[in-house]
Amino acid sequence: MDLNYIRRLAKIFDDSKATQMIIEEEGLKIKFSKNPANANQSSDASQLFSQNMPLQSTATVFSEMRPNAPIVSPNASFTFSSESKSIEENQANIHIISSPIVGTFYRAPGPEEPPFIEVGSHVVKGQVLCIIEAMKLMNDIESDINGTIVKILPQNASPVEFNQELFHIIPD
């Protein structure tokens, strides 16, 4: 799970009137609570959000959020399962390629052609990873490091925002 994604969830929670929110995704459970002393007490349905989301849909739900949204107020508490440490440790080794422009993301040079890269592909500095179409101009997005692709975030032919994460790469 992406740290920026968690920050955006925290911002949404902080802006809401809910007192508790639980997110379960890919075996990871995150619990937000504005009143830690009463977190174990039962809440009515209007104050408890519990949601099981596939990771694929989160990119579209939060694509218009600012990528560096502020973290929630200090009185909020967070609880993570034991898997969160390994995710944070892995995030430190990930290099992120973000969109330099607003446009439409394409994984392949043409509709009938194979994608430039797949998850698990080894890339070298200067290799084209995708195309972003902006105002009828096709812009090649190149890798700025050597490494292995571990995640491709946008779907093919989907809109992308400025500074939106496109690829996660583990450097060589």
Q: Judge if pTM exceeds 0.85.
A: no
- Does pLDDT of 1 surpass 90? no
Cα 115 from chain centre: 21
pLDDT in tens, 4-29: 777 787 888 788 888 888 887 766 77
pLDDT in tens, 117-162: 999 999 999 999 999 999 999 999 999 999 999 999 999 999 999 9
Take residue 13 and report the two structure tokens written for it: 């929670």
The pair phi, psi for residue 5, each rounded to 5°, is -65, -45
| Mean pLDDT value of segment 22-48 | 61
What ranges do the domains of the chain cover? 3-91, 95-171
pLDDT in tens, 61-111: 333 344 444 444 445 555 544 444 444 445 678 999 999 999 999 999 999
Q: Strand, coil or helix: what is 142?
A: strand
Of the candidate CATH numbers 3.40.50.300, 1.20.140.10, 2.40.50.100, 3.20.20.70, the domain formed by 95-171 belongs to 2.40.50.100
| Mean pLDDT value of segment 25-50 | 58
CA distance 10 to 31: 10
